[in-house]
Amino acid sequence: MVDVGPLQAPVAPGQPDSTTMWAGEDGARAGRRERIVLALLAALVVIGLALALYDPRLFRMYTSEEGPIENLTVVMLLGGAWVCFRRAWRLRRGRRVLFLAATVLLGVLFVGAAGEELSWGQRLIGFAAPEFFRQHSAQREANIHNLVVKGVKINRLVFGSGLLIAVLVYCSVLPVGYPRWPWLRRMADSLAVPVPRTRHIVWYGLLALIASVTPSRFRWEVLELVSATMFFLITTLPLNAGVFRRRDTA
């Protein structure tokens, strides 16, 4: 696989580099696992593009509800939640309350995203959506992102343009400013914000572009998998990985 970015981003002279705490055998193993996940993700995105070009019906099966793409998206989101909750538990005696609360909150957001993806188990368990969702959901499902309020689709307003802007800021300002601006580095580390590495941004942009040009209205399912996987990887092995390690093992 082509290396699309250095393991560590440059830091300003004289400034501490929190990623040095992640060097060694543990970091090497994590890096190998990350490359495997990226290779599998790239294969799934390319397969999706090929299926959409060859037979739209096959692509619809590929991206169907409870199909392989949706199930893998849920796995990645729950994996991100597991990383956060496990991290908060392991660091409970060595970090401030704000740091731990932010870590748990991120885990809760991962769980919430997975729940939304599964419509909170509606299809899995087989329960009927409450009356409110049957009246206001575009797909009559028990989730928030399909709600339509006064003609406005929540999915398009919050999870579309709003989320896109947030992701663009997160993936552009934070990686650039973290090694250069001490105040931003202190804030990100104190709030337990995983900082994307250069390779994360490159892979995210490349795979998101391929998913976005896939000729099908169901391409967003693939894009959701790309986003879920990349945020799982960013959370697992961020640029500031050192701040998430127990100090007695550093």
What's the pLDDT tens digit per position in 208-230? 999 999 999 899 899 999 999 99
Q: What percent of the chain has pLDDT over 70?
A: 70
Give the model confidence (pLDDT) of 155-205 as tens digits. 555 556 667 788 888 999 999 999 999 999 999 999 999 999 999 999 999
pLDDT of residue 158: 55
- Report d(CA 236, CA 192) in Å as an integer: 12
Give the model confidence (pLDDT) of 51-68 as tens digits. 999 999 999 999 988 889
Q: Could you give the count of Cα atoms lying within 13 Å of 201 in the half-sphere of its Cβ?
A: 20
Nearest in space to 20 (alpha carbons), one of 3, 7, 33: 7
Q: Could you give the count of Cα atoms lying within 13 Å of 215 in the half-sphere of its Cβ?
A: 8
Give the chain's mean pLDDT. Answer: 81
Give me the mean pLDDT over the 241-248 stretch.
82
What pTM was estimated for this model as a whole? 0.80
